Structure formats: structure tokens, C-alpha cells
Amino acid sequence: MNSTPATGPATTTAWVARGGRGPDDEDAFTETTVEVPAPEGHDLRVRVAAVSVNPVDTKVHAGLAEGTQQLGWDASGVVESVGSEVTRFAPGDEVYYAGDLTRPGTDAGLHLVDERVVGRKPATLDHAQAASLPLTAITAWETLFDRFGLAADSTGTLLVVGGAGGVGSVLVQLARQLTGLTVVATAGREESRAWVEGLGAHHVVDRRDLVAAVGEVAPDGVDLVFTAHSAGNVEAFAEVLRPFGEVVAIDDPEQLDLLPLKGKSIAWHWELMFTRSMQGTADLVEQGRLLDRVADLVDDGTLRHTATTVVEGLDATTLREAHRRLASGSTIGKVVLTLRG
């Protein structure tokens, strides 16, 4: 597919996070100019049209003691040039992807990314809508079909803790549409409850008293738990899960005692969608194929995008505001920033 030689290096505007700052600091982000090399091997050079902000952005920024780092791990854009080993895309193709935690992020006008973690942008979505999906769709898909090992005929009850969040918003849809599971999701506010119900959850409960709330809709317990909020909840999970149940967690609690799960032989799994790219696994291309399947599901109306807040303009001010919103813990769906011009 690579019929056009890659062009030489180019410069682009990028926005970097400054170490030792939080989202409330005026100088938390700064604009700079960086060189983006010509793509080699499996790399695409993409002109970014929109990015979205994820908890990983805020975690990396919080851990940055000094210096600067280009964040951003969700993008939608257009392929500008390709490396010599690229087979899946050509210049002019519209793509979306979450990238690689070990490389510069997507908060820039031009970006290099390995084609194997890239999918074709859903044709029915604009770039802002498409940018809301990659990281959360990969995380949700890997949770359900890789970590839990589910299939179309799978049954039982799934509890989604954090149903209105970015990953939860996709996971609820995938579980409802592609499996036979009964989906119970948590939500803390009325607007969150309405959002999760609209995504297809069979039941929506308040996670502030998880055991009692789940007991009302699933008195015999649940088979599976997905959680974006593990800290302080392990004992509750042990109580609501049936024997031989399973948990998949995506958060980063500082300390976690899993011993309460042992009495029921409950399995605990971690899900990190960057594992394949960070470890250079042989099946790296599965993430690109996964995103292609998600695009098909969006285009046939099975899934919907999760962009709830779209801000025109990617700059230091809009990035700071997006990070502030995410840090509040009350965001529904995804916050997306578009590039002007």
C-alpha cells in the first residue's frame, strides 16, 4: 500500500506539560516547536485533527517532577506520509488511535505512530467524535474479550464500577451489544445515571453503598466486576461476587490488599492497553485490527461515540481546562480538543 515515499523531517507546534505543576497552575502547559522525523519502518506521520484527554494524561503529568513532556494518547487525523514497511495505510487515509506510552504524545500538529496500533477512522464520525474512542475502546475490548475471555454467547452478570467514565461508557455498550451478560453499572449523579442508562445498562446503582445497591438488583451476586475505582472496594467486591468470580481493574491504587478475595477463589486481573506497545508483543497489530472492528460497529450503528465536551482549539489554555475537568472526577464521557485549521 506504500506507494508514496516518505517526505523529510518537518517541524510542528506541540504543547507540553511542565513538571511540578498541576492543572490549576497558569504555566501547567506551554507551546513549543518540535521536529517530527520522516516516518520509517511501520510508522505513519499523521496530521492531527483532534485529541481527547484521559486519566493517563493527568497521571503522567502528576508524576513529572521536572522538565516537560508531550502528553496525549488519543487522536484522530489524516495520514501525511508513511514508512517503508507500512502495509495498512496510505497518505490521505483518515485514522484514529491511542498511540504508545513510550513515545511522544498526540498533543501536536504532526505525530508519528506505529501503523499496527492504528485503525481506520469511523466513516460516520467527524474527527472530534472519533478521537473520543481509541484508548477507551481498546481498554474496554481487551477487558471483555481478552481478560474475561467473553464471547457472544456468554451469560451472567457484570458489574461496571465507573459506568459514566470514559472506559465504562464504551464497556457498557460492548457488553450489552456483543454478549449475553446482564450489565449493572454504577453512577453517582442523576446526569450520570441517565447517561449510563442511555448506553444500555440493564441496571444503574449508586456505588457509595455498593453491597446494598448491587444486592437489590442482583441478590444472588455478580460473576464479573470491571473497576476504575479499586481503592477501598476490595471487600465490597468480595461480598458481591459469586465464588470463582473475576475482577478486571484499570486504576492505580497505591496499596491494595486482595486477601478478602481468597475465600471465594476470586481472580484479579490488570488491564493496561499500553502493554502490547510497551512490551513489543508479537501480536501488536491486534490493536489496529480491534480499532477497525470498533469502526465497523460504529458505522453500522451498534456503538456510539462518547464525546460529551468538544472544545475548539488545542492550546495551553484548553489543555489546562480539560485536565482540570478530568481531575474533578465528575466528567461524563470524554473531553475532546480540536486543532484549528
Interatomic CA distance for residues 341 and 337, integer angstroms: 13
Tell me, yes or no, whether 37 lies in a domain: yes
311 and 233 assigned to the same domain: no
For residue 104, give the nearest of 137, 73, 139 by alpha carbon.
73
116 and 240 assigned to the same domain: no
Q: Give the pLDDT of residue 329.
A: 78
120 φ/ψ angles, rounded to the nearest 5 degrees: -70, 135
Q: 40-73: string of b/e by CB count within 10 Å (b at 16+)?
A: eebbbbbbbbbbbbbbbbbebbeebeeebebbbb
Tell me, yes or no, whether 289 lies in a domain: no
Q: Give the pLDDT of residue 282.
A: 97
107 and 160 assigned to the same domain: no
pLDDT tier at 330, thresholds 50, 70, 90: confident
Strands (DSSP E) found in the chain: 10-18, 29-36, 43-53, 68-70, 75-82, 94-97, 110-114, 118-120, 157-161, 182-186, 203-205, 222-227, 241-249, 267-270, 307-312, 334-338
192 and 126 assigned to the same domain: no
26 and 147 assigned to the same domain: no
Q: Give the pLDDT of residue 130.
A: 98
110 and 87 assigned to the same domain: yes
CA 132 to chain centre: 8
For residue 115, give the nearest of 277, 1, 285, 273 by alpha carbon.
285
Interatomic CA distance for residues 1 and 128, integer angstroms: 27
Tell me, yes or no, whether 299 lies in a domain: no
Helix (H, G, I), strand (E, B) or coil at 40: coil
44 and 155 assigned to the same domain: no
Q: What is the residue range of 167's domain?
A: 137-270
Q: Give the alpha-carbon dihedral of 293, 145, 127, 275, to 10 degrees.
A: -120
pLDDT tier at 331, thresholds 50, 70, 90: confident
Q: Give the pLDDT of residue 1.
A: 52
Q: What is the pLDDT of residues 101-137, one digit of tens each?
A: 999 999 999 999 999 999 999 999 999 999 999 999 9
Tell me, yes or no, whether 300 lies in a domain: no
pLDDT tier at 4, thresholds 50, 70, 90: low
Q: What is the pLDDT of residues 138-163, one digit of tens each?
A: 999 999 999 999 999 999 999 999 99
152 and 124 assigned to the same domain: no
CATH of residue 331: 3.90.180.10
Q: How many domains does the chain have?
A: 2
Q: Give the pLDDT of residue 207.
A: 83
98 and 141 assigned to the same domain: no
Q: Residue 332 pLDDT more than 80?
A: yes
122 and 165 assigned to the same domain: no
pLDDT tier at 5, thresholds 50, 70, 90: low
* Residues near 129 by beta carbon (within 8 Å), at least 6 away in sequence: 122, 305, 307, 336
151 and 261 assigned to the same domain: yes
Question: Is 157:184 a contact under the CB 8 Å cutoff?
Answer: yes
Q: Which three cell numbers stand for residue 57?
A: 494524561
Q: What is the pLDDT of residues 55-91, one digit of tens each?
A: 999 999 999 988 999 999 999 999 999 999 999 999 9
Higher pLDDT, 340 or 36: 36
105 and 230 assigned to the same domain: no
Q: Where a domain ends, among 270, 293, 318?
A: 270
Q: What is the pLDDT of residues 263-294, one digit of tens each?
A: 999 999 999 999 999 999 999 999 999 999 99
Q: What is the mean pLDDT of the chain?
A: 95
CATH of residue 242: 3.40.50.720
